[in-house]
Amino acid sequence: MLNLDFLKPKAPPLVGVDISSSAVKMVELSLAGRNYSLDRYVILPLPKDAVSDGNLTNIDAVADTVKRAWQQLGTRVKHVAIALPAASVITKKILAPAQLSERDLEYQVETEANQYIPFPLDEVNLDFQILGPNPNTPEENDVLIAAAKKDKVEERVAAVEAAGLKAVVVDVESYAAQAAFELMRPQLPNNGEGQIVAVVDIGATGMHMNIFKDSQSIYSRDQAYAGNQLTQEIQRKYNMSFEEAELAKHQGGLPENYEPDVLQPFMDTLAMEVGRSLQFFYTSSNYTTVDHILLAGGCSVIHGLDEAVSSRTQVASTMRANPFFSMATGKVRGKQIQLDAPSLLIACGLAMRRFDPV
């Protein structure tokens, strides 16, 4: 019990470490007055298939990449916040009498968890947080129970430990992305207040849409279409290895027919998939439009994708997400930061855990 700590605040300092399917990403933030300041970040590609479907299929390769990324980051901080994919965590709200002591509550959570968690309890890390009095029955508290598969927690903790680091916070990717939304609100008119904002993270293996109203996530949907589809198409068409195709995506130099024959159709499909996800949101809610679309993830830097999405979805206000928008970034030099920012949402959300109230 209480091995998982993503529901509980932790003390500083720490580095946010996102182990995604294509790379290890690290962000270290500090506070300058009331504003965040970006101290350093790094993105280091992972070997193909080291992480698949959120599982660390090659822990040694991940540990090695984490170690080299940390060295490149150039920090002294060895405490890190990591995250589990949302799919390996189950959360459930229960009611518990308000007068229970923490210890009795712990006992009640453990005995009741059996009912709510579809795995044997010795295979999960269990944690809970008291949310506050239930609005309808104030003599009872709403309590959030979270359970994560132990092996999923352990493989990630082991990978960072093998790299010489210590995981002091284990969060959930979707919570970290939600925290990062706060960083992007200043990009929107009136801080996006009262507006419906779709954040669409298009990475290597998946597209995740998360729709917010103010700070609340009101809808989310995942799809499997993302950057790897473009990489595969480049491999196929130009007879390249995965690594060569990835490099060509970043550095250019592909034959002239690349843009019309490969890139443009890929962008059209992406835009169509974003449109489809929005349609699912509209049919499952009372909303008929969103006010803004923020495009995130490595694919969002593809030139013209914002226009393609905007014209397909009829959402005029479509822009690239920038979690560094209102941060001081002076310590980090170079133009690359503009291109990297949209893929650092989760790492930023994790880095923010440093400033949780204790």
Ligand X SMILES: Nc1ncnc2c1ncn2[C@@H]1O[C@H](COP(=O)(O)OP(=O)(O)OP(=O)(O)O)[C@@H](O)[C@H]1O
Across the chain, where does the E strand assignment appear? 15-19, 23-32, 35-45, 51-52, 55-56, 79-84, 89-97, 124-133, 140-149, 166-172, 196-202, 207-213, 216-223, 292-296, 318-320
Which residue number places its CB atom closest to Mg ion? 203
Q: Which stretch binds ligand X (CB under 6 A): 123-131, 180-188, 227-235, 319-327?
A: 227-235
207-213 and 216-223 beta bridge pairing: antiparallel
Minimum CB distance to Mg ion, residue 203 (Å):
3
Judged by CB under 6 A, the residue of 297, 315, 327, 348 near ligand X is: 297
23 contributes a contact to ligand X by CB under 6 A: yes
Binding mask 1-20 for Mg ion (x = CB under 5 A): -------------------x
Contact 310, 316 (CB under 8 A): yes
Closest CA to 240 of 223, 258, 222: 258
Q: How far apart, in whole angstroms, are the C-alpha atoms of residue 324 and residue 322? A: 5
Among ligand X, Mg ion, none, residue 85 binds (CB under 5-8 Å by kind): none
51-52 and 55-56 beta bridge pairing: antiparallel
Beta bridge partners of 271: none
Judged by CB under 6 A, the residue of 48, 67, 152, 249 near ligand X is: 249
Judged by CB under 6 A, the residue of 14, 16, 17, 22 near ligand X is: 22
Q: Which stretch binds Mg ion (CB under 5 A): 86-94, 152-160, 201-209, 248-256?
A: 201-209
21 contributes a contact to ligand X by CB under 6 A: yes
Q: Which stretch binds ligand X (CB under 6 A): 27-35, 141-149, 221-229, 235-243?
A: 221-229
Q: In what order do the strands lie in the sheet with 15-19?
A: 35-45, 23-32, 15-19, 79-84, 166-172
Q: Which stretch binds Mg ion (CB under 5 A): 48-56, 97-105, 199-207, 234-242?
A: 199-207
Minimum CB distance to ligand X, residue 70 (Å):
18
Tokens of 173: 């990717």
